[in-house]
């Protein structure tokens, strides 16, 4: 929980820290350096108060033990299966972040910076994995490539041999009246039979491995000859696909590990938020919401800070993600500014614009530390990563532990923004 809160709170400082910051800078026409200057004080205040709230919540020893019992020497380097790949990847990532931060002040799109670095890392992973494979280096630090290939071929040969023999010797119940009549096996029996065959194959392979370790050679009886048209005489499509997948994993372990973990499922989710907001704008709801904002705040600084800030935190949970909430509120505030009559007295549109923008920047970042995982894409990714590590956090637990930090950060962060607006305007 501390990791999640810290990452989302710190993302409000830089233009490239969060996609919502990009939306705000573009929508409100704020310079990147000015954005950092506006958000640095709210970030410090929110970080300190969030730390205090987390200390209070997890002060009990049942959450954080007073002392960690560590036995033995811990070798951090031993954890790295590929130190060279780790160093190169760290260098590429660090260079990408530095270049992205620098060029962001020159109005260069972030994707134009990150895409070349991502492509360079992809090419390096493929090249380096294939180089290690051809040079017979171990991908796990224990087995050579030749041993790995022998182990892989033995596994596939045993799987195919055992399944073939079991299928050849299975007995299908005959009809009671005529034992020679072919009887159709129900689908349920076939499913159970397939499961038993797989279990038997796994057990037989284990026994075979155990016996093989004690001998120099392995003798396999030839199976009875079968006709060429017999489907059992050739490997199944599943076995072929499994064989190719294992070969690919042996040759390109980095790609095989990283590619399935990419958040492809979040892409249509993010696109749907943009589509829904554009639909609201097309139907005229943005104009209605803009008039409501003008009525509620009268385009004054302090009502704008607190109303936009609180709505931003709430909408992060209701609008899909903080990106959707930010786009929606940005369009509403922009309409409220554009609908202002020319020469209106007592209205400082520049102050109104800045107050709404910085309040929304604070709300969209701390709003990710909210009641639902879908309050931000970071929350959905964080949940997915924890699931891969075997850690499960329920929605109720997530909301309970975020309630106190979110409430305190909202009050303190918007209070600091109000103080900044009072000094500037």
Tokens 């233009």 sit on residue: 15
Average pLDDT of span 345-367: 88
Question: Is a pLDDT exceeding 50 seen at residue 294?
Answer: yes
Distance from the Cα of residue 383 to its chain's centroid = 7
Model confidence pLDDT, tens digit, residues 184-205: 444 444 444 444 444 554 555 4
Model confidence pLDDT, tens digit, residues 329-353: 999 999 888 887 766 667 788 889 9
Question: Is a pLDDT exceeding 80 seen at residue 311?
Answer: yes
**pTM, two decimal places:** 0.66
Task: Supply the pLDDT for residue 158.
Answer: 54
Q: What is the dihedral of CA 233, 235, 236, 239, to 10 degrees?
A: 160
Three-class secondary structure of residue 298 per DSSP: coil
Task: Supply the pLDDT for residue 203.
Answer: 54
The top-scoring range by mean pLDDT among 152-156, 165-169, 364-368 is: 364-368
Tokens 């940005």 sit on residue: 330
Task: Supply the pLDDT for residue 172.
Answer: 45
Q: Is the dihedral angle over the CA atoms 126, 132, 133, 139 positive or is it negative?
A: negative
CB 296 within 8 A of CB 303: yes
Phi–psi pair at 137, nearest 5 degrees: -100, 155
CB 277 within 8 A of CB 325: no
Structure tokens at 52: 């205090």
Backbone torsion region of residue 172, taken as left when φ is above 0, otherwise alpha when ψ lies between -120 and 50, otherwise beta: beta
The span from the CA of 221 to the CA of 161, in Å, is 10
The span from the CA of 83 to the CA of 79, in Å, is 9
């Amino acid at each position: 929980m501390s990791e999640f809160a810290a990452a989302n709170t710190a993302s409000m400082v830089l233009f490239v820290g969060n996609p919502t910051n990009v939306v705000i800078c573009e929508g409100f026409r704020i310079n990147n350096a000015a954005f950092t200057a506006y958000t640095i004080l709210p970030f410090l205040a929110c970080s300190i108060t969030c730390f205090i709230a987390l200390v209070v919540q997890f002060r009990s020893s049942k959450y954080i033990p007073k002392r960690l019992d560590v036995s033995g020497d811990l070798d951090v380097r031993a954890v790295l299966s590929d130190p060279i790949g780790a160093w190169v990847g760290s260098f590429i990532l660090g260079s990408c972040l530095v270049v992205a931060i620098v060029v962001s002040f020159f109005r260069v799109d972030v994707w134009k910076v990150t895409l070349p670095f991502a492509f360079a890392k992809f090419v390096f992973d493929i090249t380096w994995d294939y180089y290690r494979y051809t040079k017979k280096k171990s991908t796990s630090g224990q087995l050579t490539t030749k041993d790995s290939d022998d182990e892989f071929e033995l596994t596939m040969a045993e799987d195919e041999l055992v399944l073939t023999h079991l299928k050849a010797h299975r007995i299908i119940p005959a009809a009671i009246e005529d034992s020679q009549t072919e009887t159709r096996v129900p689908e349920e029996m076939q499913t159970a039979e397939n499961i038993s065959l797989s279990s038997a194959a796994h057990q037989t392979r284990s026994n075979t491995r155990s016996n093989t370790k004690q001998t120099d050679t392995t003798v396999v009886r030839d199976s009875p000859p079968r006709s060429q048209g017999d489907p059992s005489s050739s490997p199944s499509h599943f076995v072929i696909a499994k064989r190719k997948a294992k070969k690919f994993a042996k040759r390109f372990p980095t790609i095989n590990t990283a590619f399935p973990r990419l958040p492809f499922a979040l892409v249509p989710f993010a696109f749907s938020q943009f589509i829904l907001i554009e639909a609201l704008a097309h139907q005229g709801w943005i104009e209605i919401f803009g008039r409501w904002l003008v009525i509620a705040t009268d385009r004054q600084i302090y009502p704008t800070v607190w109303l936009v800030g609180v709505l931003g935190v709430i909408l992060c949970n209701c609008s899909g993600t903080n990106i959707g909430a930010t786009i929606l509120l940005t369009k509403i505030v922009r309409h409220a500014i554009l609908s202002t009559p020319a020469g209106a007295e007592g209205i400082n549109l520049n102050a109104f614009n800045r107050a709404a923008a910085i309040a929304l920047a604070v709300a969209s970042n701390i709003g990710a530390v909210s009641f639902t995982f879908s309050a931000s894409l970071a929350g959905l990714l964080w949940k997915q990563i924890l699931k891969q590590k075997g850690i499960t956090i329920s929605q109720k637990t997530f909301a309970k532990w975020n309630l106190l930090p979110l409430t305190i950060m909202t009050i303190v962060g918007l209070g600091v923004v109000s103080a900044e607006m009072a000094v500037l305007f």
